Structure 1
Amino acid sequence: MCNIIILRKLIMGNYIEDKVILVTGASKGIGYATSLKLAALGAKLIIASRNLNGLEKIGGEIEKIGAKPLIIPTDITKSNDVDALFNSIIKKYGKLDGAFNNSGILENSSPLHSIDEMEFWDVINTNIYGTWLCMKKEINIMLKNSNGSIVNCSSINGIKGNPNYPIYSASKHAIIGLTKSAAISYAKNSIRINAIAPGPTETNMMNQIDQSNKNKKDKIINWIPMKRYGSPNEIADSVVWLLSRDSQYITGSVISIDGGIGAS
């Protein structure tokens, strides 16, 4: 493990080390994997989620590699929580170099006409409103230094439609719209804003989909040209790259990490 960390720092450490970076939705899945990679590269990490137990778990894993993250339980659908999150970041570090807006939820599998209003707003408030709230705060901080990188988590369902999860799909399309629009606005300020569009990935959210139909996983894998799910670590590698100076001329892009689904 130590040799891997040293190698990572040699490759990218100068670009990530000591950078103040926020990860939301850090308690599991892609956010969890990304947090570990950033910590291993020496980032000054802030991890946020409304899952306190999950935050404490990832915080413990990060401390094992010699880093000490700032752990802030946050519900991104609540403006007071988001205010407190960014006030804590400013109080401790006085700046923000990067952010991965990863928090998101999925509705129950249903055609559009069967979805109730409460479920609609749960998904919209978390996936769109929460992302917008965080972006607004992040950009305001980054404007003071005319520098920064933001990565938003969309989905292959933000590029393609999904009849079984129409509200989730709509919310992920909206994240791409926010990303591209903001990227144009703030490019002149050297603030880069990009999105990732993961395909099926071995996460709790994907398990939720698989468990809704025992035959669904086989059908999904057959749909993927590479014939397997992605891993959270594979998605995290792209996030870290987008947050680093290695991608310094990229903004307004959506990186598909989907095993070839987008090309099929």
Structure 2
Amino acid sequence: MILQDKVALVTGGTSGIGRATAIAYAQQQAKVVVVGRRMNEGEETVRSIKEAGGEAIFVQSDVTKEADVEAMVDKAVSVFGRLDIAFNNAGTVGENPSLIEQTEAEYDRTINVNVKGIWLSMKYEIAQMLKQGSGAIVNTASANGVVAFPTFPLYTASKSAVIGLTKAAALQYAKAGIRINVVAPAAIETDMFEAATGGQDEVRAYITGLHPIGRIGTPLEVANAVLFLSSDLASFVTGETLMVDGGLVAQ
């Protein structure tokens, strides 16, 4: 098992990509700290892990609040003794496609969750990893952080920022034994994707058609990429953006 006895923390672990990755970590015999705002869904993720024989806890946390982020890392260390891996996955798409109609509140919410949340998470994760002399961090960006779509201006800006933030952090801590990378999915079968399409079949068909591979991705396919970046299989990989996009950006 490539993550045996490692301690892995997953933000946004209550559903979708986060839940799939938390379960995948556990299947590789990591001890998992599932983090999210929704207690019932978070406990369900933990239950799924434990029923399969894994070890996990849930920590209720809002990644836009510094005290919550500090507490989630402290909890991971107090329960499991260390923090080897962090998957910073909590994020939001935003609601209004029109830039001129977007509000200051919507800007603040999108940037706070998608950028501030990852900055705060890395701030406390890295501090712990520096004490240990090693660690691996994976941040969730998006294909929208590499190429732009006209209907997601704030989301695109926030995910571009995640990529830039990750590169700078990776360079800053490369010699400290901490690897930091980005996974950048295109459209994935999640509740967030369903919300973005508004449940409209024609919108879903259009987005599906943008992917040269001919379909939408699955949370497990993203989780597998995160597993690679989190493990020693990627020991010489840092500061990179791994596209999990069915060829969308290549075109």
Give the shorter-chain TM-score range.
over 0.9
Secondary structure of 1:163's match?
A: coil
Secondary structure of 2:187's match?
A: coil
Secondary structure of 1:230's match?
A: coil
CA distance in 1, matches of 2:89, 2:34: 11
Equivalence map 1:52-201=2 (5 Å): 52-201=39-188
State the AA in 1 paired with 2:176: N
State the AA in 1 paired with 2:139: N
Report if aligned partners of 1:101, 1:131 keep a CA contact under 8 Å in 2: yes
State the AA in 2 paired with 1:74: S
Structure 2 equivalent of residue 39 of structure 1: 26
Structure 1 equivalent of residue 17 of structure 2: 30
**1:246 pairs with 2:214:** no
State the AA in 2 paired with 1:125: N
The ranges of structure 1 where at least 4 consecutive aligned residues each deviate by more than 3 angstroms after the TM superposition are none
2:195 to 205, 208, 228: 208
Equivalence map 1:216-255=2 (5 Å): 216-255=203-242
How big is the shift at 1:212? 6.0
**1:50 pairs with 2:42:** no
Report if aligned partners of 2:93, 2:196 keep a CA contact under 8 Å in 1: no
Report if aligned partners of 1:156, 1:258 keep a CA contact under 8 Å in 2: yes
Between the aligned residues of both structures, percent identity stands at 39
Secondary structure of 1:226's match?
A: coil
Report if aligned partners of 2:142, 2:185 keep a CA contact under 8 Å in 1: yes
Report if aligned partners of 1:109, 1:212 keep a CA contact under 8 Å in 2: no
Unaligned 5+ residue runs, structure 1?
1-12
CA distance in 2, matches of 1:89, 1:75: 15
Name whichever of 132-141 and 59-68 sits farther off: 59-68
Normalising by structure 1, what TM-score?
0.93
State the AA in 1 paired with 2:48: E
Unaligned 5+ residue runs, structure 2?
none
Report if aligned partners of 2:181, 2:240 keep a CA contact under 8 Å in 1: yes
The number of equivalent residue pairs is 251
Normalising by structure 2, what TM-score?
0.97
What is the root-mean-square deviation in Å for CA atoms of aligned residues? 1.0
CA distance in 2, matches of 1:84, 1:148: 19
